[in-house]
Structure 1
Amino acid sequence: MTAESLATVASAMADTTRARMLIALMDARAWTAKELATHAGVAASTATEHVNRLVTAGLVTERRQGRHRYVELADARVAEVLESLAALGQAPPTPPRGMRDAVINDALARGRTCYDHLAGRLGVTVTQALVQRGLLDDGLTLTGDGRQWLTDALGSPFEPGRRAATRACLDWTERRDHLAGAAGAHIATVMFARGWIRRIGSSRAVVVTRAGSETLEQLLGIEAGSQFSAR
């Protein structure tokens, strides 16, 4: 790492419009430049300049399909950095501007995806349960039992490939670590596929279903009840 490379990345993030774009891309979807412009509240031409800056800094990648230009985060590491920076730089909470903002904020704090893994109170609770059962050590490294659990208990082969098996990601709402890396992504993928969690609309917020609540209690001793369900 050099001072120049760090300054390039920091400078690319240090703009409110680009920050809004990066946060939007935390849902792991590919967005069009037009969608990002609408989300950030800027003109399409202005959005293009910002996207180009993010691409140059290596924070996002792009691909073209027909007339559309799609943009997505470069990889999970970028999402984890963004989550950690949000936690470190979070200002004192301000009152929500209305009922809609209050509902959204509450849902995101309760449970959400951080790129491809679980975050918020749900993500931290699952992580703590894994540690308490000896499936992760205190440094959030997989134990032998934990690696086996990811395949046997979840009913899906755990194959991390070249990606780090686990990574601690500082949660910006809980101010504690949640599980990222290949293991975190595996858990979230299985929970979505089995219908144990579902998204709230098109947002990053997730809720635990009735089947998910029963499964979390059975597998990890988590009494999900209403704390992770839609209100």
Structure 2
Amino acid sequence: MATSNRIAEVAAAVGEPARAAMLAALMDGRALTATELAEVAAITPQTASGHLAKLASVDLIATEKQGRHRYRRLASPEVARMIESVMQIAGGVTLARSPRRVGPKDAALRQARTCYDHLAGALGVSIADALQSSGVVEIAGGAAALTETGRAQMRALGILAPDGNTRSTRPVCRPCLDWSERRPHLAGVLGAAICTHALNQGWVRRRPGTRALEITLSGRTGFRQAFGMESASS
């Protein structure tokens, strides 16, 4: 149960202009670095660190480590709903400049690429979104799980082995924060199996000398039919 002191702490954290700007920048679902959040709030990275620590102390943001980088995201859907409500009461005022484009400059890498042995970029994130919406996977924070219904569906599509054997030292399914989209795509056994299936089916093909992938004409149809994606553009 929230106490009056706790309510006051959360309100104070949101009420500072720079912190409000950073929270608004995270409302699009992406995770951003301290440097990127400092930019949208028009403050120095050093000042941003203190503000981020304050937001973390009242559980408004969470930190994810991906390689040598640390990214911040909203801690929960409840936090997003709270910020959205405040923005509505404030009359829809824009609180921050849009964050700079993140990730690779190469449009092909941003659209579709491999991340080790799984799909990344806009394509990978779209697949994760579609599978979550259809109940194939459940993603919450830094964890993901393949549902029993989803396991059967992936077997039926020939993505997972017919016997459903996913025994491995790797997790069956885990979210991997995307470099360019800053939202999760799917890794683990399932992510690797989807990538292999897409390559074998000719839905994507490798671009020479790069991790970028080209989505083929058959891929546009294949991804839509297999995963219920609205579109898979090249």
Measured against the shorter chain, the TM-score band is 0.5 to 0.7
Give the TM-score normalised by the residue count of structure 2: 0.53
> Does residue 153 of structure 1 match 2:157?
yes
Would the aligned equivalents of 1:119 and 1:178 in 2 still touch at CA under 8 Å?
yes
Q: How far apart are the structure 2 equivalents of 1:198 and 1:81?
A: 26
Would the aligned equivalents of 1:108 and 1:204 in 2 still touch at CA under 8 Å?
yes
How big is the alpha-carbon RMSD for the aligned residues of Structure 1 and Structure 2?
Answer: 2.5
Could you say which residue in structure 2 is the equivalent of 1:184?
A: 191
> Does residue 88 of structure 1 match 2:94?
no
Match of 2:172 among 165, 168, 172: 165
Could you say which residue in structure 2 is the equivalent of 1:122?
A: 123
Return the letter of the residue paired with 1:151.
R
Tell me by how many angstroms 1:167 deviates: 1.0
Tell me by how many angstroms 1:221 deviates: 2.2
Cα deviations by residue, 1:97-120 (Å, 9 ceiling, x for unpaired): xxxx95xx1111111110000111
Return the letter of the residue paired with 1:125.
S
Would the aligned equivalents of 2:160 and 2:190 in 1 still touch at CA under 8 Å?
no
Cα deviations by residue, 1:62-114 (Å, 9 ceiling, x for unpaired): xxxxxxxxxxxxxxxxxx943xx45739x9559xxxxxx95xx1111111110
Q: How far apart are the structure 2 equivalents of 1:190 and 1:87?
A: 31
SS at match of 1:172: coil
Return the letter of the residue paired with 2:71.
L
Q: How far apart are the structure 2 equivalents of 1:111 and 1:121?
A: 6
Could you say which residue in structure 2 is the equivalent of 1:111?
A: 112
Return the letter of the residue paired with 1:117.
H
Tell me by how many angstroms 1:216 deviates: 1.3
Q: How far apart are the structure 2 equivalents of 1:156 and 1:173?
A: 27
Return the letter of the residue paired with 1:159.
N
Return the letter of the residue paired with 1:221.
G
Q: How far apart are the structure 2 equivalents of 1:164 and 1:192?
A: 22
Match of 2:224 among 217, 220, 230: 217
Q: Can you give the 5+ residue segments of structure 1 that lack an aligned partner in the other structure?
A: 1-79, 95-100
Runs of 4+ in 1 over 6 A off after TM superposition: none
Tell me by how many angstroms 1:150 deviates: 1.6
Give the TM-score normalised by the residue count of structure 1: 0.53
Q: How far apart are the structure 2 equivalents of 1:87 and 1:124?
A: 19
Q: After the TM superposition, which residues 43-82 of structure 1 pair with which residues of structure 2 at under 5 Å, given as runs?
A: 81-82=66-67
Return the letter of the residue paired with 1:210.
L
SS at match of 1:185: helix
Rg larger in 1 or in 2?
A: 2
Cα deviations by residue, 1:107-157 (Å, 9 ceiling, x for unpaired): 111111100001111100000000011001133310001111221113551
